[in-house]
Structure 1
Amino acid sequence: MAKPGIGKVMDGIKVRIGIGIAALVGLVLTFLAGQGVSQIPLRVYTIAATLAALAFTLWERYIWKWKPVRYFTGVPLVVGTWRGELLSSYVRPDGSSVPPIPTAIYVSQSASKITVTLFTGESKSVTEHAKLINDPDGRWRLSWQYVNTPRPGVRDRSERHRGAAEVYVGSQPGEGLEGAYFTDRRTDGELRFPEWSPVRYGSADSALAADGFSTATPFVGDR
């Protein structure tokens, strides 16, 4: 049975942080004002709530990425553009197979939310639901459901469709992301992304032609 995903793990941590901050701020301000706990003014609660909300925002956007924090949570940092290939099981009417398709995905990641956008030369997919899951063996996998929209010029042979994909985050530098996908067109295949860039690309053409990619290092100890 899989362990909780990134959202549940981070939500639990945020709740504990918020409660701790609110309680600590309330007590500190109360004692500084020389009042008993039963006489805490409303403005103290307001200040405590404001600081807790600020802490939540900082955690959601920045703090969770810090290496010491990720050593504690174990959550991999997969945000950025990944480059590799898609290997489809589709067999053409003439009986020939489809050669590997150069592919890129852009992953947007915060403490509680993750999205995946996949690009090829002929189509683009948009995430409907995505999550990072920690398996019992300690590996992390990125799983998402998507809607794929081909370019108008290829829709005579490639229709708009839905699908799901899942890739495992490698445990050693250079392993990148590897997994599989399937679609409601009854096709499936493999996904391999050994290269990574922190830059956000908006198309397959720009991502596949770029020089700024390096060996993938999404692991807690690497960055």
Structure 2
Amino acid sequence: MNAKVRVGIAIAAGVGLMLALLEGQGMSQTPFRVFSIGGLIATLFFALWERFIWKWKIVRYFTGVPLIAGTWRGEMVSQYTKPDRTRVGPIPTVLYVSQTASTVTVTLFTGESQSVSERAKLIRDDDGRWRLSWQYVNTPRPEVRHRSEPHRGAAEVGIGSQPGEGLQGSYFTDRPTQGEMHLVEWSPLRYSRAESALSGDDFRQVRPYVRDN
């Protein structure tokens, strides 16, 4: 449970105790019993909200928060130029998103490396569109580290609102390299390796991120 949720619970329980004291119940067992029960109910509600309630269709209709949890599949297009002046071809890419009401974590897989987010957040633009932005640490597989060292980077993708738009955006690293990402297939399953996700047959072009889905 994050700090904002804990603060909310404490405020709600504190207000309940204060009201009981102002009503002249003093420091008897009654206000403390109310305090305990209120705190328990608030804790339970916020825990359910954090994990489940915020995802409900009717709730997202009012909040507008996109639901993008699951595994996304597509490709990265790097602008890196090799020593022989040729470009790297499109890289098959898998992006796993874990999401609660207040947190987002991102893990990106390719055939050669894995990137794990250190900080990630959803951003709502003034026009109502949403973006997913994150900073990450990339760890290449040992067999390719002679040409690809561990590094840090940042990425940002726009969250589409129409079928087929998916997640599309760009990334850059501290090596420095940069490029674009296009992720247009989605699966509700959690994958842990690029190989299994790229060969999976449960991916489809859907829009789990739209309010009315």
Q: Using structure 1 for the length normalisation, give the TM-score.
A: 0.85
Query: Any stretches of 5+ residues in structure 1 without a counterpart?
Result: 1-6, 31-35
Q: Is the 8 A contact 1:175 1:216 kept in 2?
A: no
Given the alignment, which residue of 5, 12, 36 partners 1:19? 12
Of 181, 184, 196, which aligns to 2:171?
Answer: 181
In the alignment, which of 186, 200, 203 is matched to residue 213 of structure 1?
A: 203
AA in 1 matched with 2:162: Q
The code of the aligned residue for 2:24 comes to S
1:37 counterpart SS class: helix
Offset, 1:135: 0.7
Counterpart in the other structure of 2:62: 72
Q: Report if aligned partners of 2:50, 2:102 keep a CA contact under 8 Å in 1.
A: yes
Residue 128 of structure 2 is aligned to residue 138 of structure 1: yes
Q: In the alignment, which residue of structure 1 is the partner of 2:50?
A: 60
CA drift of 1:38 comes to: 2.5
Other-structure match for 1:167: 157
Letter in 2 for 1:128: E
- Structure 1 SS opposite 2:61: helix
Once residues 75 and 192 of structure 1 are traced to their aligned partners in structure 2, the CA distance between those partners, rounded to angstroms, is 21
One-letter code aligned to 2:196: S
User: Which structure 2 residues correspond to residues 9-48 of structure 1 after superposition, within 5 A?
Assistant: 15=8, 19=12, 37-39=23-25, 40-48=30-38
Match of 2:141 among 151, 171, 174: 151
C-alpha distance after superposition, 1:54-111 (max 9, x if no partner): 0010000000000111111110000000000000001111111111000001000000
- Mapped to 2, the partners of 1:178 and 1:15 lie a distance apart of 35
Partner of 1:3: none
Per-residue Cα deviation, 1:137-174 (whole angstroms, up to 9, x for no partner):
11100000000000000011111100000000002122
Q: C-alpha distance in 2, partners of 1:203/1:69?
A: 33
Amino acid at match of 1:88: S
State the aligned residue count: 203
Structure 2: state its 5+ residue gaps. none
User: CA separation in 1, counterparts of 2:31 and 2:137?
Assistant: 52
1:86 aligns with 2:72: no
Which secondary structure state, in structure 2, belongs to the residue aligned with residue 77 of structure 1?
coil
Kindly report the root-mean-square deviation, in angstroms, between the aligned alpha carbons of the 2 structures.
2.4
Question: What corresponds to 2:114 in structure 1?
Answer: 124
Identity %, equivalent residues: 61
Deviations 1:15-51 (A, max 9, x none): 49x839x75xx99xx8xxxxx9322431111000110
Residue aligned with 2:45, SS: helix
Distance 1:114 1:108 in 2: 6
One-letter code of the match for 1:167?
Answer: V
Kept in 1, the 8 Å contact 2:12–2:39? The answer is: no
Structure 1 segments of 4 or more deviating over 2 A? Answer: none
Question: Secondary structure at 1:199's aligned position in 2?
Answer: coil
Contact 1:180/1:190 (CA < 8 Å) preserved in 2? yes
> What TM-score, normalized to structure 2?
0.89
Instruction: Classify the secondary structure of the residue corresponding to 1:215.
Output: coil
